[in-house]
Amino acid sequence: MIKVSVVGAKGRMGGNVVNAVNDASDTELALALDAGDDLTRITPDNTDVAVEFTVPSVSLGNVLTLIGQGVDVVVGTTGWTDEKLDQVRAALAQAPRPNQSVFIAPNFAISAVLTDHFAGLAAKYFESAEVVEMHHPDKVDAPSGTAIHTAHTIADARKAAGLAPVPDATETDGGSRGQTVDGIHVHAVRLRGLNAHEEVLLGNPGEQLVIRSDCFDRGSFMPGVLLAVRKVSAHPGVTIGLNNLLDL
Ligand SMILES: NC(=O)c1ccc[n+]([C@@H]2O[C@H](COP(=O)([O-])OP(=O)(O)OC[C@H]3O[C@@H](n4cnc5c(N)ncnc54)[C@H](O)[C@@H]3O)[C@@H](O)[C@H]2O)c1
């Protein structure tokens, strides 16, 4: 059994993680902590892996504390910068246990991560490529970080294959062609009833390939979180992105 403590356990994601850890047959809940709780209660005696889903302003401090406590950490909180990651790497270099691990995933949804991966594989075979992301209207940023990442993945694959820019005769736009990310148009739809969805449209003369991911609720993240809990200790140091754990 993998002993898991959850930090941010009263939050929407943390609450789902508590339930997922209780429900899985190979994990057991150690501590469920939230704001105001003492994270130094988490030790290697009671915890193998700490899962951190809080808010960007406190996440770095929590992760540094957890590293100091000698446990592996899985992080879902967003807002990581190169500077913050450097601090995590420096803390790991001084960690109490050898080969301690921190795993950070900007997106734990396996379908979203595979959409990005498959788009990267397919991109070089198509003349045109566009990304459409669709979310609930309460999301404050647009386009989504995941869609921006997918656009870069497609652009990198096109550049590596020596493809010309995507064809587009548009002369006057007015915003309807979306945001151009690394030469790839990215469109954002905000619609009540949706959760988190992404389509990659790839076009050639006479054919289209659509790669689509639909995350219907927060449960969509739990298989990815549990995968990270199971695999984090096999990846010493800092690992970023669920794609690194999927044997792709
Ligand atoms: N990586 C992913 O796939 C993914 C998916 C969804 C959300 N997120 C991110 O996860 C984070 C949490 O999202 P949420 O919807 O659960 O937010 P939320 O506001 O529902 O929960 C955050 C929780 O953190 C707690 N908290 C605040 N400060 C704390 C501290 N110092 N120590 C311990 N707990 C503290 C809060 O009390 C709250 O219970 C956000 O950054 C969000 O963007 C990531």
Looking at the structure, tell me whether residues 69 and 17 fall in a common domain. Answer: yes
Q: Which residues line ligand 1 (CB under 6 A)?
A: 7-8, 10-14, 34-35, 53-56, 58, 62, 76-78, 105-108, 221
Q: Please indicate whether residue 139 is annotated as part of the active site.
A: yes
Rounded CA separation 75/220 (Å): 16
Looking at the structure, tell me whether residues 228 and 186 fall in a common domain. Answer: no
Residue range 95-121, pLDDT digits in tens: 999 999 999 999 999 999 999 999 999
Q: What DSSP string describes 128-157?
A: EEEEEEEE-TT--SSS-HHHHHHHHHHHHH
Which structural domain range is residue 165 located in?
110-215
Q: What is the pLDDT of residue 223?
A: 98
Q: Report the chain's mean pLDDT, rounded to a whole number.
A: 97
Looking at the structure, tell me whether residues 75 and 166 fall in a common domain. Answer: no
Q: What is the pLDDT of residue 123?
A: 98
Query: Percent of the chain, pLDDT > 90?
Result: 98
Residue 173 has pLDDT above 90, yes or no: no
Looking at the structure, tell me whether residues 128 and 165 fall in a common domain. Answer: yes
- What mean pLDDT comes out for the span 64-89? 97
Looking at the structure, tell me whether residues 6 and 79 fall in a common domain. Answer: yes
The residue contributing the CA closest to ligand 1 atom 19 is 11
Looking at the structure, tell me whether residues 195 and 228 fall in a common domain. Answer: no
Does 143 sit behind a cis peptide bond, omega within 30 degrees of 0 on the bond before it?
yes
Catalytic residue among 3, 135, 185, 197: 135
- How many structural domains comprise the chain? 2
Looking at the structure, tell me whether residues 71 and 124 fall in a common domain. Answer: no
For 214, other C-beta atoms within 10 Å of its C-beta total 16
Catalytic residue among 84, 117, 139, 235: 139
Query: Percent of the chain, pLDDT > 70?
Result: 100
Looking at the structure, tell me whether residues 129 and 166 fall in a common domain. Answer: yes
Looking at the structure, tell me whether residues 128 and 199 fall in a common domain. Answer: yes
Residue range 33-48, pLDDT digits in tens: 999 999 999 999 999 9
Rounded CA separation 52/63 (Å): 8
CATH code of residue 29? 3.40.50.720
CATH code of residue 193? 3.30.360.10
Residue range 113-168, pLDDT digits in tens: 999 999 999 999 999 999 999 999 999 999 999 999 999 999 999 999 999 999 99
Closest to 237 (Cα-Cα) out of 75, 91, 56: 91
Looking at the structure, tell me whether residues 51 and 91 fall in a common domain. Answer: yes
Looking at the structure, tell me whether residues 225 and 205 fall in a common domain. Answer: no
Looking at the structure, tell me whether residues 13 and 91 fall in a common domain. Answer: yes
Rounded distance from Cα 10 to ligand 1 centre (Å): 9
